[in-house]
Amino acid sequence: MLQDRIGVISDEVSSNFIEALDWIVAEGLKFVELRVVNGTNIAAVSDEELCFVKQEVEKRKLQVTAIASPLFKCALDRSRPVSTGDVFGQVEETPRQHQLKLPRLFKIAKALGTRNIRIFSFWREREPSKYEAEIIRYLTEAAVMAQKENIMLLIENEDSCNGGSAREVANYVNKVNSPALRALWDPGNEVFSHNSPYPEGYHEVKDLLHHVHIKDAVTDSQTGKVMAVPVGQGVVPFAQQIKQLEANGYQGQYVIETHYIPEGGTQMQGTAMSLRGLRQALQEIS
């Protein structure tokens, strides 16, 4: 059943890891994705913290969908002005320093029972196409390392990065041309890039994706600013999108990364609202 394939990024529920896991179980979900654990980015956890995470996840019989790392959320060259975005506790470092994190990320992923590691495509340059060869080189080197370890690297479309749109992510994946590098499709993020998520954005990555994040968004008609909203209250047609994903053979999870907190409310409440919206969309197509 589609309802059995819903997951949640834990710190979208609560900054308290145990509280987040308990909520996930209480909601009847089977999958969790890991980004920040009790204030520490998952890419930086110690061996002791890793053992704690593994123990608590397994105790609840949850399955880890992916390591939602911030790898390659950094500037190609800090002397140039670039966009920036959420880093979830990570400090600014060089691309080579990020590359050196890969073996540790491989170890973390394997310890937690997943092959999937989210990555990005460096902070967005004013003219990304000018630096394409450099971006492709780093991504290719990372994919070569990942393939040797049977790890899947997933580039997410993120407006603050060079792979800001589905088309840009597809271009990188195609040019690297590695079985260890695929797309992480987030239709809500396509809205933040001021593009149409479905069918246009999805068409770009439909043959290249390996994982899906779920968020919804709207653009303020007066300010032009894009805002996260609960799933079902934005412009992403999730029932149609998921129906097409299933028709095209997608067998993975649908992982909520809502980014929405209701005014005066909590992360947990915002994620609960998106969970209800996602369940409604899945019910429409089941």
**How many Cα atoms occupy the beta-carbon half-sphere of 274 within 13 Å?**
33
Output phi, psi for 143, to 5 deg.
-65, -40
| Cα 222-226-231 angle, rounded to 5 deg | 120
Give me 199's structure tokens: 């069918």
104-130 pLDDT per residue, tens: 999 999 999 999 999 999 999 999 999
What residues pair up with 161 in beta bridges, in sequence order? 123
Mean pLDDT confidence for 207-232: 96
**CB atoms < 10 A from the CB of 120, how many?**
26
146-185 pLDDT per residue, tens: 999 999 999 999 999 999 999 999 999 999 999 999 999 9
11-23 pLDDT per residue, tens: 999 999 999 999 9
Q: How far from the centroid of its chain's Cα atoms is residue 266's Cα?
A: 21
90-101 pLDDT per residue, tens: 888 999 999 999
Q: How far apart are CA 120 and CA 255, in angstroms?
A: 17
Q: Which pLDDT value is given to residue 70?
A: 96
Mean pLDDT confidence for 193-203: 98
Give me 148's structure tokens: 């040797």
- Which CATH number, 3.20.20.150, 3.30.390.50, 3.30.1360.100, 2.60.40.420, labels domain 2-285? 3.20.20.150
Give me 246's structure tokens: 């299933």
